[in-house]
Amino acid sequence: MINKAKEGKCIIFSAPSGAGKTTIVRALLAEIDYLSFSISACSRAPRGKEKAGVDYYFISVEEFQAKILENDFVEWEEVYTNNYYGTLKSELSRIWDSGKTVVFDVDVIGGLHLKEIFKENALAIFIKPPNQDVLEDRLRKRNTETEDKIQIRIKKAKEEVLRAGKFDTIIENDILEQAIASVREQVLKFLSR
């Protein structure tokens, strides 16, 4: 077992909504047992089958703001108005103390913040959709958002793709199995250093 956790290594995955980032992260976590998912905190309600303490720590806007003031976050962002996401310091301690490497599944701005914090101890991977039409189709097939929210996500995705070059590597998710294989190769290479 490769164990780089003592060095504080982490893998950061970012992408526009609908690019397939979470699907890829779940596949990687199922294959590599020394990786552990960093559960983000958020101030929104659960979507679909999401579970508290598994997919996210769901907390109120007020509680999130209190944790900001208490400096409990490594990084946080107000992604949409009163819709906060962040990484709790306690979550990183939990993972590193268990001897595993942290895997982040975060939005693009959060990913760039984390890369700035962890520098060479982080591999920042941008998952890119093949094109805007595929992305829009994936968002619609989720069946979890109103039309207004889909349009907001599409607009934001266009801006996020422009930041892809700031990541260590960009992997296009056109054919899922190929994207997972490319991600696995990049992660194993990074962790073997």
The whole-number average pLDDT for the span 17-29 is 90
Integer angstrom CA distances of residue 155 from 16, 43, 78, 123, 171: 10, 22, 17, 26, 21
Q: Buried (b) or exposed (e) across 175-190, using 16+ Cβ within 10 A?
A: eeeebbebbeebbeeb
Residue 2 above 50 pLDDT?
no
The pTM of the full predicted model, rounded to 2 decimals, is: 0.84
pLDDT in tens, 51-102: 999 989 999 999 999 999 999 999 898 987 899 999 999 999 999 999 999 9
Residue 5 above 70 pLDDT?
no
pLDDT in tens, 42-58: 999 998 889 999 989 99
Domains identified in the chain and CATH numbers: 5-188 (3.40.50.300)
What is the bridge-based pairing of β-strands 10-14 and 122-128? parallel
Q: CA-to-CA distance for 24 and 144, rounded, in angstroms?
A: 20
